[in-house]
A = this chain, B = another copy of it.
Amino acid sequence: MISAGIVVEYNPFHNGHLHHLNETKKRTDADVVIAVMSGNFLQRGEPAIVSKFARTKMALQAGCDIVVELPYAFAVQQAEIFADGAVRILASLGCRYLCFGSESGDINAFLDTFHWLERQKGRFDEILKEKMRLGFSYPKAAALAYSEMEGDGALLDLSQPNNILGYQYVKAIKDRQLDIIPLTIPRIKAGYHDPEFSSDTIASATSIRKAIFSEKGDLEPLKRYMPESSFEELLRFKREYGAWQNWENYWPFLKYRIIQSSPGELREIYDMEEGIEYRVREAAFRADSFQSFMEKLKTKRYTWTRLQRLSTHILMNAKKEEMKTYCQKPEYARLLGFSKRGRQYLNRMKEELAIPLIAKASSRDGGAFELDKRAGYIYSFGFPPSVRQRVLEEEYKRPPVMAE
């Protein structure tokens, strides 16, 4: 059986994701599609709007065959480490293909850029360092360095977020010499012509979340942008658990944690750098919402995303030591759900899997997985008090979701 891998967050699942899933099947002719998905905290340093189990359901109902969790130590990370972890897990599960969406849509642009940058690495790093010395954040500095070097023909627009991620997937495959064929499809946006996925039915996950958390909160208009099953799951989740999650739900706990900690303790948190712990304490003391905390914290040097990731690590008590250790190499994959065909695939592959699959949180202790479990437990604190305990225990006991 042939499998194709995809890297996803599904926050929440929408028609753009469905297009990506269908195109992956079409272009690879794979028997199964395996999604490696961030858990309850995402790459941009945010809690997921619905739990990983709900997002797994959405994925399976839309035609995914296997969903595994990207461990926290890779998920809440900058693009390079995120991509490295995701691609290596897919390789460990035997994926022949990796198919990702990008603004470019041309896989040769990625491959050529990779080789070209390999040759130019010295010069690139030099310009990058110079830009960061001037106070630019890492992604901004990298984009500037890259665009200064673009003289010999623009290969890939690396100021685009999905091109950056795609580049990192390709780089991980090449650097690790993985036996995976990378493919890319263009992301659909307004103006992209596709009979099935016109701009009328495509909206970004960001704009969908924005609509969900808007004052009006009328969800009916969202129906056109999501598969019906995902839309229903979104509603069911709120009905059953009383809340969709966003950072504000966790703000009291984040603030409490910061107020309670000494600067020395904050310095142990992953991604806490250069005396920013004092700024964090000062901002937390004065802010009465996550939004105002972030506004007080923001400087030119740090991107919003990076500060959100830092906030997640504080909320999680994720230490430098553990994060640096556990992001070296994925050592397991937690199985979140599978279809009938997914199960067949896993049965056949059993002997060849390069890492163990974990079916239940309660069945493994220690190491990097403690971080994943903790993330699941901490996620429960965003819910109304009456359902927190249920969410917490679900994380611990729940078996993988099986597609109906």
What residues of chain A have their CB less than 8 Å away from a CB belonging to chain B?
Answer: 252-253, 256-257, 259-261, 265, 285, 288, 315-317, 374, 377-378, 381, 385, 388-389, 392
Contact A392 B260 (CB under 8 A): no
Given contacts A256-B253, A285-B392, A378-B256, A261 and B317 within 8 Å (CB-CB) = yes
A316 contacts across to B, CB distance below 8 A: 260
Alpha-carbon separation in the docked complex, A178 to B154 (Å): 83
Ordered by A's residue number, 11 sampled pairs between the chains whose C-beta atoms are within 8 Å are A252-B381, A252-B388, A253-B253, A256-B256, A256-B378, A256-B381, A257-B257, A260-B317, A261-B317, A288-B388, A288-B389
CB distance from A38 to the nearest CB of B (A): 20
Copies of this chain present in the complex amount to: 2
Alpha-carbon separation in the docked complex, A63 to B317 (Å): 47
Alpha-carbon separation in the docked complex, A385 to B259 (Å): 15
Contact A374 B259 (CB under 8 A): yes
Contact A378 B317 (CB under 8 A): no
A388 contacts across to B, CB distance below 8 A: 252, 288
Given contacts A252-B385, A288-B388, A392-B285, A378 and B257 within 8 Å (CB-CB) = no
Alpha-carbon separation in the docked complex, A260 to B265 (Å): 14
CB distance from A219 to the nearest CB of B (A): 25
Contact A377 B252 (CB under 8 A): no
Alpha-carbon separation in the docked complex, A381 to B256 (Å): 7
CB distance from A351 to the nearest CB of B (A): 36
Alpha-carbon separation in the docked complex, A260 to B250 (Å): 13
A390 and chain B: residue at smallest CB distance = B288
Most B C-beta atoms less than 10 A away, residue of A256, A257, A392: A256
Most B C-beta atoms less than 10 A away, residue of A315, A378, A381: A381
CB distance from A40 to the nearest CB of B (A): 14
A259 contacts across to B, CB distance below 8 A: 374, 377-378, 392
A261 contacts across to B, CB distance below 8 A: 317
A314 and chain B: residue at smallest CB distance = B260
A392 contacts across to B, CB distance below 8 A: 259, 285
A318 and chain B: residue at smallest CB distance = B260
CB distance from A392 to the nearest CB of B (A): 7
A315 contacts across to B, CB distance below 8 A: 260
A322 and chain B: residue at smallest CB distance = B262
CB distance from A399 to the nearest CB of B (A): 19
A260 contacts across to B, CB distance below 8 A: 257, 315-317, 374, 378
Alpha-carbon separation in the docked complex, A63 to B257 (Å): 39
A253 and chain B: residue at smallest CB distance = B256
A257 contacts across to B, CB distance below 8 A: 256-257, 260
A252 contacts across to B, CB distance below 8 A: 253, 381, 385, 388
A374 contacts across to B, CB distance below 8 A: 259-260
A285 contacts across to B, CB distance below 8 A: 377, 392
6 additional A-B residue pairs with CB within 8 Å, beyond A257-B260, A260-B315, A288-B388 = A252-B253, A252-B388, A260-B316, A260-B378, A265-B317, A285-B377
Alpha-carbon separation in the docked complex, A309 to B220 (Å): 51
Alpha-carbon separation in the docked complex, A389 to B287 (Å): 8
Query: Ordered nearest first, which 7 A-B pairs have the shortest CB separation?
Result: A288-B389, A260-B317, A259-B377, A253-B256, A256-B381, A260-B378, A252-B385
